[in-house]
A and B are shown apart, each in its own frame.
Chain A
Amino acid sequence: MHSALLKKLIIACLAMFAFAFALVPLYDVFCQVTGLNGKPSLEVAKASSRVDENRLVDVSFTTHAQQGAPFDVSAEQFKVTVKPGEVTKVAFSAANLSQQARVMQAIPSVSPGIASKYLHKMACFCFNQQPMKAGEKQDFELMFYVDTALPSEIEELTLSYTLFDITEQSQQVALEASQDEPTSMETSDE
């Protein structure tokens, strides 16, 4: 008499436990759709077909080496003014400040969060893990455009990169990381 109900309830429990983990990918999807938390897409975007000539948007860049990450990355210009739809290139110079080979992962974040949906990156050093030799200096290029659909009340947006040292996590894949899909990245699958 009880076992049928008991079984249902236990299945409900297990389903909810699984749901907790399902929330992880769901959250990412949710972020992409709503721009929650300024989590931009890590996909390579296609060029825009249209340029909005009547509007200018400020895009500023900032980088931040996470505690202990021995990297210094800075954009050539702190701020660029772009027309929505226009593809813009920004040069970044990066350096490994340590005396060891390290692997850098840059995590992009956009503010205001809602704007992350409208900032499309066509080339970015954040797409891949970046192995850097001891003391090495590298130049990166960011290629992006702002979607013409960007809500008109947004006049200014910021693209921030947080630099993480992921040498330990990526020891095995460090060598081919520049060509391959970074395997330790969860969000880069989709």
Chain B
Amino acid sequence: MSSIVNPHDHGHDDHHGAPSGFKRWLFTTNHKDIGSLYLIFALAMFIIGGAMAMVIRAELFQPGLQLVDPHFFNQMTTVHGLIMVFGAVMPAFTGLANWMIPMMIGAPDMALPRMNNWSFWILPFAFAMLLFSLFMEGGGPAFGWTFYAPLSTTYSNDNTALFVFAVHIMGISSIMGAINVVVTIVNLRAPGMTWMKLPLFVWTWLITAFLLIAVMPVLAGAVTMVLTDKYFGTSFFDAAGGGDPVMFQHIFWFFGHPEVYIMILPAFGVISTIVPTFSHKKLFGYASMVYATASIALLSFVVWAHHMFTTGMPLAGELFFMYATMLISVPTGVKVFNWVATMWRGAISFEVPMLFSIAFIVLFTLGGFSGLMLAITPADFQYHDTYFVVAHFHYVLVTGAVFSIMAAAYYWLPKWTGHMFNETLAKWHFWLSLISVNVLFFPMHFVGLAGMPRRIPDYALQFADFNAIISIGGFAFGLSQLLFVYVVYRCVKGGDAAPAKVWDGAEGLEWEVPSPAPYHTFSTPPEIK
């Protein structure tokens, strides 16, 4: 299959003519081009989804309805969630995988380059369709990103079909991306790159890809059932025809919980790459990291109903899902301990990627703690569907997944562009983000515990002070990200030339090729000792 990729050593592209203009990007089968496309797309979606979050926070700035009506508010929360999950975090990780996996394992390209092109280029259509539905009569999806039936079936508007197709396309794209990752890692490792020599980012992505292959089709099944229930008279989720709306939640969360790990396992890989580099010390407990990742992935299949404790479950079910969920904190803890042990007695330096990684370790762990609290069934009856949950998953996904993506971007930007980024601005970006993100999400724990439900456009007066603070944090965090866009833009355009090995403590094949990485790398596989 490597014959598909032109085996030339040099940095020019003679496979499909001189790469230029729009056609280069549209027809590209080069993993670096596609990686860039994914990353740019994810950034654009991050900004759009972020703009929706700004609408939400503006409306919630004070009690009363000022800016939007509740129906539009629900569309904002729904589409914000969908865009951030499927449009920002997942494509960003796929972009990182495209760029880095072949370079890390000494492969010339992804194994299935044409499929790679496809899996990216169907994505913009999916999101165009989803965003378009917002402007149609009746508006876009307003039933939450979890689209519980029957709110999404009998009680939704006719634009639901657009939502269903958009999710189908996103799913197909992710599945193709995942298949590509698996085939690449299994078949294209350079000679001598044994399994236990794989960089951890590659390992975590391999496991993620298997998760994707296992659960994205289940999501596709769930949306298909929503579609047929709504338009073709089936009754999967309609009690009148013998169906059950609670079954929707079981099917959805069978996808949904592994999905959470799909968004965090690659982040673990990124942090496990960056922490040793700037600690100037080898990663502590490589093998246990691999086993921990695998056990998190396996456990993620048997904990889904902890999202549904209030739906009414037999005691035995509640106990099983509580224990299984608590168990996940063991391998997750092992990871955190390993990172700390890696830093212990290292020689730590604090470049921007490391700053983001340290913030990740602390804040992700915080999100882990609230996750452990949520696992405790009796307490979950109080936490469930409140802002405590919102705080929890934003700590895990924003200061977790998104911070790791930013750490990765700063870490590899010089390799991608050949330029160093402006370190001062980047540090500003870090500190502004760190402070504002905590002002944004930390008080959510308090309003949640005090009893504010999630997904409401207006709230009782006792929540007003905290919500004002949260909104200010939100605006500050949103604005800080524009600085990130600017830093990246400046770095792409120019800057000090970056050496091949950008960070002195870095290890790995990607640092053996010049910066910027030539269009084709490792056309002849490197020797791994």
Contact = CB atoms under 8 A, between A and B. Distances in A.
Contacts of A12: 213-214
Given A2-B1, A13-B213, A34-B314, A162 B239 contact: yes
A1 B1 contact: yes
A99 to B, nearest CB: 21
B518 interface: no
B213 A2 contact: no
A140 to B, nearest CB: 18
A157 B215 CA distance: 38
Contacts of A100: none
A24 to B, nearest CB: 6
A3 B179 CA distance: 11
B312 interface: yes
A101 interface: no
A9 B218 contact: no
A146 interface: no
Contact of A19 (B1, B218, B241, B311): B218
Nearest to B214: A16
B217 A20 contact: yes
Given A1-B1, A2-B112, A20-B221, A13 B175 contact: yes
A20 B239 contact: no
A1 B186 CA distance: 11
Interface string B243-274: 11011001100100000000000000000000
Contacts of A37: 244, 246, 311-313
A20 B250 contact: no
Interface string B185-202: 011000000000000000
B447 interface: no
Interface stretch (A47-55, A70-78, A87-95, A180-188): A180-188
Contact of A34 (B1, B179, B311, B317): B317
A113 B313 CA distance: 7
Given A17-B220, A169-B241, A186 B235 contact: yes
A21 B221 contact: yes
A16 B213 contact: yes
Given A5-B183, A20-B220, A166 B112 contact: no
Given A34-B316, A34-B317, A36-B313, A66 B1 contact: no
Given A13-B217, A16-B217, A187-B242, A23 B183 contact: no
Given A1-B1, A23-B254, A105 B240 contact: yes
Contacts of A38: 312
B242 A23 contact: no
Given A13-B213, A19-B218, A6 B240 contact: no
A114 interface: yes
Nearest to B305: A36
Contact of A24 (B112, B175, B213, B236): B236
Contact of A107 (B220, B225, B240, B254): B240
Contacts of B89: none
A131 interface: no
Nearest to B247: A27
7 contacts: A34-B314, A34-B316, A37-B246, A113-B313, A166-B241, A184-B241, A185-B242
Given A17-B218, A20-B219, A24-B236, 11 more contacts: A2-B1, A9-B183, A13-B179, A16-B213, A16-B216, A17-B221, A19-B221, A20-B217, A21-B221, A111-B312, A114-B315
